[in-house]
Amino acid sequence: MPQVLISEVGPRDGLQSVKATMPTEHKLRWIDALHAAGLREIEVASFVPARLLPQMADAAEVVRHAITLPGLVVMALVPNRKGAQAALDAGVHKLTMPVSASPAHSLANVRKTPTEMVEEVRAISELRRELAPQVRLEAGISTAFGCTLQGLVAEDDVIRLAVQCVEAGADDVGLSDTVGYANPAQVRRLFRRLRAEIGVHAGAAHMHNTRGLGIANCLAAFDEGVRTFDASLGGLGGCPYAPGASGNVVTEDLVFMFEAMGVSTGIDLDKLLAARAPLAAGLPGEPVYGMTAEAGLPKGFAPTTSTQQQA
Ligand code: ZN
């Protein structure tokens, strides 16, 4: 068993943040390549009206393909009950909901206040219980470390919202640095509080690399016991409703860090780097990031798979 779960969010978080729309067949090829590299959780789509996000118009088709890949947990973002219904109909294994700690960001992103979003979590949790009780429901607390619209976000607000999401039925609650404001000391503090308050329900760290601290923030979260990390191949992503937000943590660099530390990810780095080709092919001209891809793997580098057998 890998010691950390790298949850790839590029096909959702990444693709919805770029202007161009990746054609469906390219999305499927890219997701196949990510799966072949060993990724076992991928956020493949967002179930929102196509007039708002034309990049996600093929969400159901993408899900129906992704669920055929063995061993893959297929996740989709849903902002409301209607989206959740469509995602469940398509056969997702896991739903993720954006619940913003900043009222300004919440209104801009989903046109609801944080309190209204908690009620949405409750409604979706009930829907899932009726239709597909095996499906997991995750709430990601967006702008948990700061907001481009509001500025500072009180840590008490973040923790209270996380507790409310668990009470409303979320299985996991993660913290998202949607706009790249977090620093490692803050990440340690907030995840420590989160784990103290909601225990096993404490979920993923979703870090952005906007100011170059994405990897350092992931390490800080790891030190606090976090074992699921969202990342995006080539650092694709941002937030269309958060001005200045750019770049999720680069999957390749994050996997390299963990593997170099001897923390197993279950991911083959060479195949992961190869998955950049279908990404680039599907989004011609779009910049992709990543230091590991530029520099290559160090001489004598030994990933954890070379020292221990993995299933
Ligand atoms: Zn993101």
Model confidence at 238: pLDDT above 70: no
Domain 5-310: top CATH class: alpha beta
pLDDT in tens, 37-87: 999 999 999 999 999 999 999 999 999 999 999 999 999 999 999 999 999
65-74 contacts at long range (C-beta below 8 A, 24 or more positions apart): 65/28, 65/31, 66/31, 66/35, 66/42, 67/91, 67/92, 67/93, 69/31, 69/32, 69/35, 71/40, 72/35, 72/39, 72/40, 72/41, 72/42, 73/40, 73/41, 73/42, 74/42, 74/44
Domain-wise residue ranges, the chain: 5-310
The reply to whether 165 belongs to the active site is no
Ligand 1 centroid–CA 207 distance in Å is 7
CA 106 – ligand 1 centroid, Å: 15
Whole-model pTM above 0.85?
yes
Residues around ion ligand 1, judged by CB within 5 A, are 13, 237, 248
Q: Is the pLDDT of residue 118 over 90?
A: yes
Distance 266 CA to ligand 1 centre (A): 22
Reported as a pLDDT band with limits 50, 70 and 90, residue 311 is very low
Going by pLDDT thresholds of 50, 70 and 90, the confidence category of residue 305 is confident
From ligand 1's centre to the CA of 309, what distance in Å? 32
